[in-house]
Homo-oligomer: A and B are copies of this chain.
């Protein structure tokens, strides 16, 4: 029963992700901040719905598992706004590495190693699966902000160029969605929700 006890402890630890708040706003719940647990659910399910647009070779079940675990490190490291400055994002990366080792290390082997390497694959974003997963993580705020008069973009004075760069994984992982994202970014800029640097 030792393995099971470790697995239950890991599952209990996960509860803490429900207390990590992001910059995204939930329009459906009085514009409160979104937490990283419900965000993880949303993009995991979205990845199934948008799977028909994934480039050939994407394994949606692996993408799924990556998205379920991608934010767990925030239990220790907290959430950092996507458009924070370079130093802040660099420090965040170190904290997240330590967090991944501690939190996935709660699991028995081989699960501990499997999930740690899946998380690292997501972070490195070299494989096509990881790129599609990253693309899902990044298109969701776009979808949410377009429904909410610019949402976290407008609140934080984000530029069109920043959002284009951030969504670039779509270009190879899901070309049709890339075209969709570009058209939405154009619309957001016209409406004044994104700052146009050019």
Copies in the complex: 2
In the complex formed, the residue of B with least CB distance to A42 is: B14
Q: With a CB–CB cut-off of 8 A, which chain B residues contact A53?
A: 4
Residue A40 CB within 8 A of the other chain: yes
Q: How far is the CB of A106 from chain B (nearest CB, A)?
A: 10
Q: Are B38 and A143 in contact (CB under 8 A)?
A: no
Q: With a CB–CB cut-off of 8 A, which chain B residues contact A93?
A: none
Question: Which chain A residues numbered 26 to 68 have a C-beta less than 8 Å away from chain B?
Answer: 26-29, 34-35, 37-38, 40-42, 44-46, 48-50, 52-53, 61, 64-65, 68
Residue A176 CB within 8 A of the other chain: yes
In the complex formed, the residue of B with least CB distance to A16 is: B28
Known A7-B49, A10-B49, A12-B143: A38·B18 in contact at CB below 8 Å = yes
Q: Are A45 and B14 in contact (CB under 8 A)?
A: yes
Residue A111 CB within 8 A of the other chain: yes
Residue A69 CB within 8 A of the other chain: yes
Residue A107 CB within 8 A of the other chain: yes
Q: With a CB–CB cut-off of 8 A, which chain B residues contact A61?
A: 61, 64
Residue A8 CB within 8 A of the other chain: yes
Contact partner of A15 (CB less than 8 A), chosen from B15, B26, B50, B65, is B26
7 closest cross-chain pairs (CB), A and B: A41-B41, A19-B29, A37-B38, A38-B38, A16-B28, A45-B68, A15-B28
Partner-B contacts on A (CB < 8 A): 1, 3-4, 7-8, 10-12, 14-19, 26-29, 34-35, 37-38, 40-42, 44-46, 48-50, 52-53, 61, 64-65, 68-69, 107, 111, 140, 143-144, 147, 176-177, 180
